[in-house]
Amino acid sequence: MAALQDGARHAGAPANDPAALALLIYTSGTTGLPKGVMLDHTNIEAMTDMGQQALNVTATDHCLLVLPLFHVNGIVVSILGPLSAGGHVTIRRRFDIETFFHDVELLRPTYFSAVPTIYSMLNALPTTMRPDTSSLRFGVCGAAPAPADLLKNFEERYGFPLIEGYGLSEGTCASTLNPVDGLRKPGSVGLPFPGQRIAIADTHGTHLPPGATGEVLVQGPNVMRGYLGKPEETAKTVVDGWLHTGDIGRIDADGYLSIVGRLKEMIIRGGENIYPKEIEDVLHDFPGVLEAAVIGAPHETLGEVVVAYVAFRSGATGSLDALNDHCADRLTRYKRPAAIHVVDGLPKNAMGKIDKPRLRELAKGLRG
C-alpha cells in the first residue's frame, strides 16, 4: 500500500455557506422512479438539531448504525446527531440477524434506528433468545408504517420501547415522532419535531381540521431545496413553503399524526377509495403472519381490485380459507382481497421497504 502524502494546508477561511448543496439523496422509488433530493447545509443543521431535541440525545449516547449510509437517517439522525452532541456511533456494514443482539451486548449502545422489517425479523427469533438489552433507551422505527401489535409485542419481549416516527428524504429525514418521554400512541407516528409544522390538506391544498383525512403537509427549515433537474416536480411538491408529501393521514385532537396510506398507492375499486394499510393491518393480525402487503390490480369492470401478499414466519402456516375468513370478519366487502398470495418472502428495496412496484409486476405475471 502506497504511503499517504500530505497536501498543502488550506490557507483560506473555512467554507461557510448555509445555502450550499450538502447532500444529494435519491428517494427510494417505492411509487415511481427515484428523484434526487437536494439538501443544503441549513437543512442538515436544522435536522441534526431537531433530532437531538426530539430524541433527547446527549454526550452519553451511543448509536448503533445498521441502516445504509446513502439514507438520510443513517447520515443525519444516526451519525451527525450523536456526534454533534458529543456522543459516539458504531457503524456496522449491514444489519445481520445472526449478530445483531451480540453487537448490542458487546457494544452497549443506547439507541438505534431500523425499519419495520428488521423489527419483525427480530421479533420472530426463537423465544429462547433472551439478550441483554439493558443499555438501550429505545429503538427508532421508521421508513414505513409498522403494525401497532409489532411495537407492543416487541417492547414486551425485549424490554425497551420502539419509538415510531415519520418522515421522508424531502424533509431531511424525520417530521414526527412519538415522545421518548411521554405518551406514545399506538397506530400513530407521533408529534411534530421541534421547529416543524404538520398540516392535513384537501386536494386543493386547503388545511383541514383535526380528525379529517387528507394529504400530509410539512413546513420547516428541514424542507428540501428541490429535486435535481426537475423544477416542475419541485413546484408541485413544495408549495408556499409546504412540502406535499403524497402521504394520506389525519391529526387527532392532541396533535398526533396517523398515516393512512399513500396517494399513489390508493386503490379505487368501483369508485370506492381503499387504503392498503388498513387491509395490511388486518392481515398482520392473523396468527403467524410476518409480513403483508396490499396492492391494486387492474380489473375490467371495477377499475382495480385488492390483491394481497402474505409471508408467514418460520414454522407458521395458514390456509387461504382461514385468511379469507379472517378478512371477511374484519373488513367490509369491497375492501376484502380478491386474491391472497402466500409467498416465502416479500421483495425489498435497499432500505428494507417492501417493493410494491415489484409486487405489481408479479401480479401482472400471475394474471398472464
Q: pLDDT (tens digit, 9 = 90+) per residue, 187-202?
A: 899 999 999 999 999 9
Question: Counting beta carbons within 10 angstroms of the beta carbon of residue 230, is it exposed (0 to 12), middle (13 to 18) or buried (19 or more)?
Answer: middle
Task: Name the grid cell of 364.
Answer: 401482472
| CB < 8 Å & 24+ apart, contacts of 22-25 | 23/72, 23/75, 24/228, 25/70, 25/71, 25/72, 25/169
- Above 80 in pLDDT, residue 260? yes
CATH superfamily to which 266-367 belongs: ANL, C-terminal domain (3.30.300.30)
Q: State the pairing for strand pair 242-251/213-219.
A: antiparallel
21-191 architecture in CATH?
3-Layer(aba) Sandwich (3.40)
Comparing CA positions, the residue from 342, 306, 344 lying closest to residue 322 is: 342
- Give me the residue spans of the domains in the chain: 21-191, 266-367
Q: What is the pLDDT of residues 269-316, one digit of tens each?
A: 876 778 888 898 899 889 999 889 898 888 777 778 899 999 998 888
Q: Which residue type sits at 102?
A: H
Task: Identify which has the larger pLDDT, 116 or 189.
Answer: 189
Q: Is the dihedral of CA 97, 113, 32, 21 positive or negative?
A: negative
Q: What is the pLDDT of residues 349-363, one digit of tens each?
A: 766 778 887 888 777
91 CB-near residues (< 8 Å, 6+ apart): 65, 69, 79
Cα–Cα distance measured from residue 362 to residue 95, given in angstroms and rounded to the nearest whole number: 27
What confidence category does residue 266 fall into, taking pLDDT thresholds of 50, 70 and 90? confident
| pLDDT of res. 351 | 65
Q: How many CB atoms lie within 10 A of CB 193?
A: 28
Task: Name the grid cell of 193.
Answer: 419535531
For 9, 159, 260, the CA distances from 6, given in Å and listed in that order, are 8, 49, 54
Cα–Cα distance measured from residue 284 to residue 119, given in angstroms and rounded to the nearest whole number: 14
| pLDDT of res. 255 | 96
What confidence category does residue 68 fall into, taking pLDDT thresholds of 50, 70 and 90? confident
